[in-house]
Amino acid sequence: MTNNQTMNYVSYFRPEIDSMTGYTPGEQPKVKNIVKLNTNESPFPPSPSVLKALNSFNYENLRLYPDPLSSYLCAEIGTMFGLSYKNVIAGNGSDDILNIAIRCFTDSTRPLAYLKPSYSLYPTLAALQGTPCIEIPLKDDFSLPEDLLVKAAPANLLIITRPNAPTGNSFPKEIMAEICRNFQGIVLIDEAYADFANDNCGDFAANFPNVIIARTFSKSRCLAGLRFGYAVAHEKIIEGMMKVKDSYNVSMLTQKLALASLWDRAYFVDCIAKIKLAREMLFLGLMDIGFKVIDSETNFIFASPPDENAEFFFQELKKRNIFVRYFPGPVTGKYVRITIGTTKDVSLLFSVAREIYSGMLSD
Amino acid sequence: MTNNQTMNYVSYFRPEIDSMTGYTPGEQPKVKNIVKLNTNESPFPPSPSVLKALNSFNYENLRLYPDPLSSYLCAEIGTMFGLSYKNVIAGNGSDDILNIAIRCFTDSTRPLAYLKPSYSLYPTLAALQGTPCIEIPLKDDFSLPEDLLVKAAPANLLIITRPNAPTGNSFPKEIMAEICRNFQGIVLIDEAYADFANDNCGDFAANFPNVIIARTFSKSRCLAGLRFGYAVAHEKIIEGMMKVKDSYNVSMLTQKLALASLWDRAYFVDCIAKIKLAREMLFLGLMDIGFKVIDSETNFIFASPPDENAEFFFQELKKRNIFVRYFPGPVTGKYVRITIGTTKDVSLLFSVAREIYSGMLSD
């Protein structure tokens, strides 16, 4: 066989795959000495308990498959929610949970509804599944629209990100309950940022048979590199989702280290308090410079520069090795999303913003 | 709201999910002091380089997302195949790779073909995707049937497990090439066990535009707990598969430790040599006791007891805390699949088999 003859590439992909563009995660620059405020990671290291667990881990056990059910984690999380391990499914990050839910509850005849703007992964996961999407625009102030239930009605799965990303604001809990009570389908509440919020909908998992609460260890647990997320819901929902999950989706080390993090509640509470403080500082500081800033209940701030030219601000920051996230588009294009870093990061960002918006820009 | 009122569970699952039974992985018993020969794990610990990498890992980095592309691993693996990192996709175990391929190339109008018996996960993954399956029975001696291409013709994806599981035998490489040359669709060669075989089809990735080679670190690299697998194929195939893979599918620790294992070629070669020796010992010993044993190019043996009552043998072993794998069914039901353990494990298995089949069984 000759290469010329055989290497005529023909696509055998499903047309849905060929025609889609993949999801683009935030940049993970490999250069050193950058200020990385673009992917909502924690500026703090994980709990010291994670280090202890790492040091006491017997590497010889890696020859064995991990527990396919992440039993200890699910039991512990179940207890946290006043429920059983049977109400919990573990994911390789909460993206895994989202993917599983979209495969379970949507297809070409079962649409997915979500708010816009929200997490840009939802439409990508829907496209993979050939699922039609119902995008429900938030109001101009990023609050929930009154006709949400009417618009979402044809969907079988409704995802509400609460607090929302990339806008950072939350939605009233009583309205969330009303939506869950009246929506004829599954409501997945993506609580990736709920640990930074004033309240959460965790109790809905026990009180609504059609609600899935999804959470992650990537933000508030300072463990984005570890890949752990989970969902809590009615036992029957978890049972079905288990069929779709990859058997050994969570590695042995991830299970061990996630559990260690879970046990250290004091460190977790402390990190969140620090983030909230830096958030308040960033919020007030940017307002002072003339930014429009959305009230945030997350570990990031969604802010629009005085001249609304967010792309320019994004590029100027990048020149200075400060990475934030910019989402082009008519609504999001006026804002940048800035992860709450340390108070030092926040101060640095201020000085750059002041420099730019006092017209003192040198280049 | 009262619990009674709201907790009336209604299924919103896709009917395909409700009607399917999930994949059942081999038992991972939590009791100690068992001889675990049921899930084809290595009896040896991972390379000492893995321990070094674990010890030198800076746990603070876990706050950051992992490299979404597992770049270093893909570059290294690409080089191994005489190709580029663009020809490699990293998976959270090779089950992740299989899932991605089945989502890319199959759906309700694009069937999946595979041999029977082979890896029982394939039909589960197809069911999730609503994909019709073409099961092509192997011949009585577990060799490839002559009409394979005719039977597989309606499929868009053909998976051939080589060497095969659970039967352990391999298929002639020239016949594999002929299949790849003539099949109008993608041929995924599942080489989970290829490191234990006399040859492999790794070079097909460079020579056929429609071939995907899938491999795993779970068996020959002694790293089942780590979750790492990969696929090598034409750049365009990898590009499409990337759209389907979860952004951060491989954890930071897994990337780091898998790379350390990859670099220690000497340990890898040594482990394989030891497995092959124990396999030869098990093969000859079981033959001697009157078993029918299939020629194995894997890290397990597929063997049928003298009376063909494999379920009885399986249960007798279990009573003695020796776990092997039993697959019910007209063809597989006459055999047990025994993972090659240490030579000590092999000796223990002999003594039990001798005890049972000399009619000296006490209970």
CA pair distance A301, A287, nearest whole angstrom: 11
**Residues of A with Cβ-Cβ distance to B247 under 8 angstroms:** 23, 25, 95, 121
Q: Are B227 and A248 in contact (CB under 8 A)?
A: yes
CA distances from B211 to B70, B81, B150, B198 (A): 22, 14, 18, 20
Amino acid at residue number A243: K
Q: Tell me how crowded residue B348 is: count the other CB atoms within 10 A of its CB.
A: 18
- Position A3 scores a pLDDT of 44
Task: Note if the bond before A145 is cis, omega within 30 degrees.
Answer: no
Phi-psi map region of B217: left, alpha, beta (phi>0 left; psi -120 to 50 alpha): alpha
What ipTM does this complex have?
A: 0.95
Q: CA B125, CA B15: separation in Å to the nearest integer?
A: 15
pLDDT above 90 as % of chain B: 90
Contact A190, A176 (CB under 8 A): no
Q: Closest chain A residue to B108 measured between Cα atoms?
A: A14
Q: Is the CB of B65 less than 8 angstroms away from the CB of A95? A: no
Band (pLDDT 50/70/90 cuts) for residue B22 is confident
Q: Which of B141, B95, B100 is nearest to B117 (CA)?
A: B141
Round to whole Å and give the CA distance between B228 and A248.
11
What pLDDT sits at residue A174? 98
Cβ contacts (< 8 Å) between B23 and chain A: which residues?
243, 247
Helices (H) and strands (E) in chain B, counts: 14, 12
Whether pLDDT at B347 is above 60: yes
3-class SS letters over A253-301 = HHHHHHHHHHHCHHHHHHHHHHHHHHHHHHHHHHHHHCCEECCCCCCEE
Q: Tell me the CB-side half-sphere exposure of residue A251, using CA atoms within 13 A.
A: 33
DSSP reduced 3-state for B332: helix
Q: Phi/psi of residue B202, each to 5°?
A: -50, -35
What is the pLDDT averaged over residues B204-225? 98
Please compute the mean of the pLDDT values over residues A169-192 and round it to a whole number: 98
B3, B6, B28 ranked by CB distance to A67: nearest: B28
**Which DSSP state fits A325?**
B
Condensed to tens digits (0 to 9), the pLDDT of residues B218-228 reads 999 999 999 99
Q: How are beta strands B88-91 and B229-232 bridged, if at all?
A: antiparallel
Q: Give just the sign of the alpha carbon dihedral B306, B307, B310, B314.
A: negative
Residues from chain B that touch A120, judged by Cβ atoms under 8 A, are none
Percentage of chain A exceeding pLDDT 90: 90
B74-106 pLDDT, tens digit each:
999 999 999 999 999 999 999 999 999 999 999
Start-to-end CA span in chain A (Å): 58
Nearest Cα to Cα of residue A91 among B227, B7, B123, B90 = B227
Question: Inter-chain contact A45–B60, Cβ cutoff 8 Å?
Answer: yes
User: Residue B226: its chain A contacts at CB < 8 A?
Assistant: 62, 251-253
Distance in Å, alpha carbon of B314 to nearest chain A alpha carbon: 21
Distance separating the N- and C-terminal Cα atoms of chain B? 58
Mean pLDDT of A326-337: 95
pTM, two decimals, is: 0.95
Contact flag A57-B61 (C-beta cutoff 8 Å): no
Nearest to A207 among B3, B95, B208 (CB): B3
pLDDT score for B21: 86
